[in-house]
Chain A
């Protein structure tokens, strides 16, 4: 039938955009390897990656130990935060939901703070080994899970999107205050290791930590992808989803598990990174012109990765020797998009 053909064309358009995005990601990955305080040319980079035995040992070290882990972390962080944001926006039916804005990220920092400051001796001067990395990640998951639980309870009672948003910001501030108080009461050496963590950035993630971060993000994204059908049904709200045969409790558990793993893991290693999780799902919906999650999940993964790579490149201030904190860059990129969402939705009556 003609309509089916049009519908398939729509899907084809989405597939073409996804293909284009997946070509852009390696391109920007390479571009991200180029920037840094020490200039390395493209041929040198390629040589260091593919024929390291012939390359300058120092360049190989910079590429393998610093730039590749950082760029790879950027991809993971962008993808994870964006998919977490997409799931939150769908399940809460709130276009302004996101892991940072609703306090899920700060919940993760509280988890990490309690672990680091509470067991300062155990962790020693820094967060280095894989075992302690898993501990950090688990603490972040639990912290973000608890905040998510509070938001679920609030949104069961309050339907107004803006009210939930304000409450989320309040929760976020309250948790930050608790973290500050914890810092105040902790001794100098544990405080130091925590402060190092709070200043965390994409570049501070070591290869050992990546061996924890990568499987965590992979699992989170897999759960999200397998929840595509649930997420589609959640678009109409829980009652409709149930009336169409969805096991709401199981579906919600899966989605929240994925959100906690994704937002918690990234916050655990990179510190709080804002506005990627809220902005990227909207860009994906706009580009792909669809509400179907089996297209939106891959779309947000790719756009999130791209946006984070771009943020990282900007934060290196190409041509200069200093770097900016990456979460300032994501805020400056993301906030205009959030403002645009608010104005557009205000006009069409969706908020």
Chain B
């Protein structure tokens, strides 16, 4: 939208490291992307493409090697630490292991830029910490030690800490990296709610396309040559995802919005029957290298499978065999 303030904006930015002698080790140049207020932005890209370097540059941990990296219109490196800490908070990939640190104390560290030199929490600070803990669903965990809670709970506590810091921008480097599937969904969903309800601008990197497509408002896609941005749906339609991991073993399924492994289909099969069991039979056959066709043509059909759950009838070259599970169907087909 034109005229709306860009909370995070990169204009022709170059990210990288200073090498030993005056030269610069450029990770990626010419990055021009932005994020608006209240947006959940997912940063995706292959391993080693520079996602962490980009996030670290935006968080101000390392200087940009050229171009603009602007937070609320000001170069990130022009902020003083304390100023920046009131605008932007950060969560890294690293698992925090601190003995005897309670969830409450971890989250209250977020009040750092707001408290006095001694870090004394006022009643107001305590209320904010309580509220932050509640909004990530960790109520009742206040006095649990962070070393004795699950990875998912610890990650929620780290997010609660950024809420206690009360910043407009939150940057997270792979917040779902070590989590199981349900925790992945939950964390990304919490981020989505924080962005839409509290108007925060949240930028996170991830390898998990499905959750990112489902929940993020904007995506930054780091390709080998460039960084593209758009809504997940736009990026699927214009084919940017397809070029994300161009590999001979993978292809991007535009309908399902996910990558699939390319299979060499050598054999053909017809699947007959009704219901959800048919869909899963098709999946099992595809995995085992079958192309599913609708009707017999040119006489090359080898296998016909009739699904009458919980029974499968496999017809093949005048032979008929019955099975009570897809596992035994697959074993039978592979032995043929």
Contacts and interface: CB of A to CB of B under 8 A. Distances in A.
B98 A245 contact: no
Q: Is the interface of A mostly helix, strand, loop or mixed?
A: helix
A239 B84 contact: no
A290 B82 CA distance: 26
Interface residues of B, number: 40
Most chain A CB inside 10 Å of its own CB: which residue of B86, B94, B96, B98: B98
A10 B113 contact: no
A3 interface: yes
Given A3-B104, A6-B143, A244-B110, A229 B117 contact: yes
Contacts of A348: 147
Interface in A227-262: 228-229, 232-233, 235-237, 239-240, 242-248
A240 B105 contact: no
Interface string A317-351: 00000000000000000000000000000001110
A228 B105 CA distance: 14
B102 interface: yes
A291 B118 contact: no
B61 A242 contact: yes
B74 interface: no
B98 A243 contact: no
B81 A3 contact: no
A288 B86 CA distance: 31
A10 B102 contact: yes
Contacts of A288: 100
B301 interface: no
B130 A228 contact: no
B119 interface: yes
Contact of A245 (B99, B101, B113): B113
A271 B24 CA distance: 48
Given A7-B104, A285-B100, A245 B94 contact: no
Contacts of B96: 236-237
A294 interface: yes
A292 interface: yes
B90 interface: yes
Given A243-B61, A244-B89, 15 more contacts: A1-B127, A3-B130, A4-B126, A7-B126, A7-B142, A229-B117, A235-B98, A236-B96, A239-B61, A244-B112, A244-B165, A247-B82, A290-B105, A291-B100, A292-B105
